Amino acid sequence: MNKKQIYIGVLGLFLSFFMSCKTEINKEDDTLDKLIGEVKENFAPDKRVALFDISFSENKDGIILKGESDMVAAVDALKQKLDAHKITYIDSVQHLPASSLAEKQGLITISVANLRGKPAHSSELVTQATLGTPVKILKNEGDWLLIQTPDNYLSWVDRGGVKGVLPAEFSKWKAAEKIIFLSTIGHAYTEADESSQVVSDMVAGGILEYLGEEKGFFKVQFPDGRQAFVNKKEAMEYDTWLERLDPSQESLVNTAKTLMGVPYLWGGTSTKGVDCSGFTKSIYFLNGIVLPRDASQQIHTGKQVDAKKDFDKLVPGDLLFFGKPATDTTKERVIHVGMWIGNNEFIHSAGRVHISSMDKDAPNYDAYNYNRYLRSNRYLNEAKDGLIELVKTPVFKD
């Protein structure tokens, strides 16, 4: 055997060993990807409301788990799977809320806070939160905070719109008497006089601490300590409002019609501007029921009452969903939602809040949405799985 043959033989053994190692590494990588995917599908199938951003890398010390999650149970489940597969790893996962945060609760301090997909004003508006909404603070990045709203929606807010509070301060706020602003739009003033200086604009659903009453006004306090006066004709004591809540077909329709003409705003969930699901969410919130944020989430709550355009089955308050049905190769896409108000009509936000008809002979017939109709769900007098009922859940007051 000559030197060339020996060289080729050694090279062959080396390549064989290298390829064998590479195959084993690839198999382990595939297993890791699969296990992470399984846990994510089980614990966090919807990234809008659950954070499980976990990946892995490799260095000379081995496999490193990295990323972040706000679900301890999900991370623990992944570790158990890795242990069961005898995969060794270094745990570098960051658990949220970040341990460096002293203030892990926050309160929205402005009439409407714009919540974005990324920590930048140029980022997409994904939702909004009205004055007095309590939020969980998960981490900070510069002047931005990653927060989670009471309906679990994850988003970023500019620090100027939220006040972080320590546990004792948050408990004190939860226990305090409050008022809820109910007019579509309005103001809070420095004195019990609408000709006095404006302290802030107000929108329906805003929550403030109750300090007293004076000359037909509520004296109130903002979460950041500002004090002001709100006309009693535009607001109500929160406990009284809760006691009087009786969501009905009539109350839902009446609330919806107070928002007629409000402009469409992608990501909007307030009376300053609403997208389609922000509109239905606002209607139900002002009747004491918190729906999930997006149409593609709302469709998975309530009870299905129609999927065949049999609109005689619908009653006022039912939500109609529109989009593209599933095919053999594509998933269903829920693109739009509106609320049935009777008389073959539904109210929805598209361009502005307005009323359309499913009657082909009506002047406001909406052929576009008729043709992309998917199905309708009912929420009144049905199981409230996936919803928050404010009379039963102390979101704003213990």
Active site annotation includes 276: yes
Of 85, 95, 187, 348, the catalytic one is 348
* Active site annotation includes 336: yes
**CA distances in angstroms from 4 to 9, 33, 81, listed in the order given:** 9, 42, 48
CA distance 167 to 134: 12
Active site residue 21: no
| Kind and range of the H or E run holding 12 | helix 3-43
Give the residue carrying structure tokens 């320590």.
166
CB burial of residue 385 (10 Å; 0-12, 13-18, 19+) = exposed
Residue 270 pairs in a beta bridge with 273
Q: What is the DSSP string of 144-181?
A: EEEEE-TT--EEEEEGGGEEEE-HHHHHHHHHS-EEEE
Cα within 13 Å of Cα(288), Cβ side? 19
Cα–Cα distance between 212 and 389 in angstroms, integer?
27
What's the half-sphere exposure (Cβ side, CA atoms, 13 Å) at 215? 6
Cα 340 from Cα 252, distance rounded (Å): 10
Active-site position among 187, 276, 300, 354: 276
The rounded distance, in Å, linking the Cα atoms of 119 and 115 is 9
Smallest CA-to-CA distance from 276 within 266, 285, 286, 284 is with: 266
Helix 72-84, helix 3-43: angle, nearest 10: 140
CA distance 365 to 49: 36
Between CA 285 and CA 241 the distance in angstroms is 12
Position of tokens 């008809």? 357
Which residues are annotated as catalytic?
276, 336, 348
